């Protein structure tokens, strides 16, 4: 269960809101929006008829009412040291003020009568104690007591607070300012949230007269992507873009075939034929190894007219690896005269026979046939003549940046509807990110974990 923060995007970042009965720390410099976010958390509680307490350690109540405009159901309190000489802590509310020992303050703040609690300026609690050691112990005791009850709490703190506060909190949201083209912009990120999947990307904060809001990064606009069945990938990307182009960029050391083979398997299951542009050796070895257990061997898929090969390597149909394949499903570039003519031949072959198809082009396999400019021309030709043909087409271009070069890869990234990028890091782990997607949530990076059984990978 979760309690809403009062901001839809922040709730989404937290995986639904602040975990019920837990404590969230919001930290950052003065003026970035911490207090407003905290008050909006209480406003959401008031809207749900919950009992809410707001406590400030560094501002008078009048300032809080004026600057934060709390809902009427929220109980406001200000705490500060008693300066009359008697010691203790002054606890001030709209109903009056009394002086209590520091230990009693901690107990009062953590009473189980509150559904939601905000301590605005959690660092100030330490300053209210007779000495800093008792202050730190009291703050620890507060968090401990809150966890024992069902109170859901938000604490705010500045950047200079000790890390012990962050360690004690169940979750941490960091806020900061960053200069962007000469303009200081506020941002936030979920730095920590125990036992829950959450969004770790940075988001912009937007201030207006109604408060502070976490800005959405993007919204999915493509409603019918081609899903792969790979755990984590479909959630991240939505799937490959139907009637669109996906660039799957890899660095040569990271294997892209588990992703494209999973797409092939899903297409076959839906009786949609798949066109592969790759070396025939790759087809009968790597691709066959991935598809044989998932759906069927490549030779069987060709017999069923569900798999076609445009071969940019072989010079003759009599070459051993090509001779073992169904000749009706293999188009040799060498015989057609150009890779574009090979595409044209196969497009005409499928026309009128299918309603949907998938095409996967391994750019490295045909890089020896086309220059950089010819690659651009080929893309525009395909976009104008193939993507708007008689059937729906999902087009995937697998490109190795070290082969294609930075300029051509940048071109493909710009014109593609979706961009996925996979690489192997210096730690030898394979990663996948989604810089661009109309169907998913760009900005995330995941670890690619190999599996023994189809689909052979999952994202963590």
37 & 120 share domain: yes
Q: Residue 205 maps to which CATH number?
A: 3.40.50.300
* Residue 221 located in a structural domain: no
Contacts 24+ apart (CB under 8 A), 371-376: 372/405, 372/407, 372/408, 375/404, 375/408, 376/408, 376/411
Question: Does 225 map to a domain?
Answer: no
Q: Which residue has the higher pLDDT, 162 or 287?
A: 287
- Give the number of domains in the chain: 2
Q: Does 138 share its domain with 203?
A: yes
Last residue of a domain, which of 180, 214, 248?
A: 214
Q: Do 154 and 246 fall within a single domain?
A: no
Closest by CA to 427, choosing from 192, 296, 253, 308, is 253
Band (pLDDT 50/70/90 cuts) for residue 218 is low
Same domain? For 204 and 242 the reply is no
Residue 317 predicted with pLDDT over 60: yes
* 252 and 194 fall within a common domain: no
8 with 125, same domain: the answer is yes
User: For the residues 116-135, what does the mean pLDDT come to?
Assistant: 89
Q: Is residue 59 part of a domain?
A: yes
pLDDT digits (tens, 9 = 90+) for 379-416: 998 888 777 767 888 999 999 999 999 999 999 999 99
205 and 237 share a domain? no
Last-in-domain residue among 186, 214, 242 = 214
Residue range(s) defining the domain that contains residue 327: 233-459
Distance CA 61, CA 75 (A): 11
pLDDT in tens, 34-93: 999 999 999 999 999 999 999 999 888 888 888 777 888 899 999 988 877 667 888 888
In percent, how much of the chain has pLDDT > 70? 98
Same domain, 193 and 290: no
162 shares a domain with 68: yes
Residue 223 lies inside a defined structural domain of this protein = no
With a cut of 90, say whether residue 117 has pLDDT above it. Answer: yes
Q: State if pTM tops 0.85.
A: no
Q: How far is 334 from 322, CA to CA, in rounded Å?
A: 13
């Amino acid at each position: 269960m979760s309690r809403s923060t009062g901001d839809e995007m922040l709730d989404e970042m937290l995986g639904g809101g602040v975990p019920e009965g837990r404590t969230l720390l919001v930290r950052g410099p003065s003026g970035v929006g911490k207090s407003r976010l905290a008050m909006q958390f209480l406003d959401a509680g008031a809207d749900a008829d919950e009992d809410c307490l707001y406590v400030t350690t560094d501002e008078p109540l009048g300032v809080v009412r004026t600057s934060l405009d709390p809902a009427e159901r929220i109980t406001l309190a200000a705490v500060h040291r008693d300066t009359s000489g008697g010691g203790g802590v002054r606890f001030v509310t709209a109903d009056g003020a009394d002086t209590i020992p520091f230990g009693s303050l901690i107990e009062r703040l953590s009473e189980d009568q509150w559904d939601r609690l905000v301590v605005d300026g959690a660092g100030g609690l330490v300053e209210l104690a007779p000495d800093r050691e008792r202050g730190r112990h009291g703050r620890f005791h507060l968090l401990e007591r809150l966890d024992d009850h069902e109170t859901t709490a938000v604490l705010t703190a500045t950047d200079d607070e000790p890390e012990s506060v962050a360690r004690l909190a169940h979750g941490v949201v960091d806020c900061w300012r960053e200069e962007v083209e000469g303009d200081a912009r506020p941002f936030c990120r979920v730095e920590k949230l125990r036992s829950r999947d959450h969004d770790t990307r940075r988001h912009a904060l937007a201030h207006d007269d109604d408060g502070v809001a976490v800005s959405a990064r993007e919204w999915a606009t493509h409603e019918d992507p081609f899903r792969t069945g790979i755990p984590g990938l479909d959630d991240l990307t939505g799937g490959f873009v139907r009637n669109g182009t996906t660039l799957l960029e890899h660095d040569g050391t990271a294997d892209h075939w588990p992703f494209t083979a999973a797409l092939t398997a899903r297409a076959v299951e839906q009786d949609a034929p798949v066109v592969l542009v790759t070396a025939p050796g790759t087809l009968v070895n790597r691709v066959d190894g991935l598809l044989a257990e998932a759906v069927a061997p490549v030779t069987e898929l060709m017999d069923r007219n569900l798999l076609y090969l445009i071969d940019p390597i072989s010079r003759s149909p009599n070459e051993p690896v090509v001779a073992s394949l169904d000749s009706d499903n293999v188009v040799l570039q060498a015989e057609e005269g150009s890779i574009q003519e090979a595409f044209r031949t196969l497009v005409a072959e499928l026309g009128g026979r299918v309603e949907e198809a998938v095409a996967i082009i391994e750019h490295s396999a045909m890089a020896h046939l086309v220059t950089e400019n010819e690659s651009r021309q080929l893309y525009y030709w395909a976009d104008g003549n193939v993507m708007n043909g008689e059937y729906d087409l999902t087009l995937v271009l697998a490109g190795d940046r070290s082969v294609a070069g930075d300029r051509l890869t940048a071109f493909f990234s710009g014109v593609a509807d979706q961009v996925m990028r996979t690489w192997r890091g210096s730690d030898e782990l394979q990663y996948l990110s989604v810089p661009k997607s109309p169907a998913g949530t760009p900005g995330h990076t995941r670890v690619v974990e190999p599996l023994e059984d189809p689909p052979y990978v999952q994202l963590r």
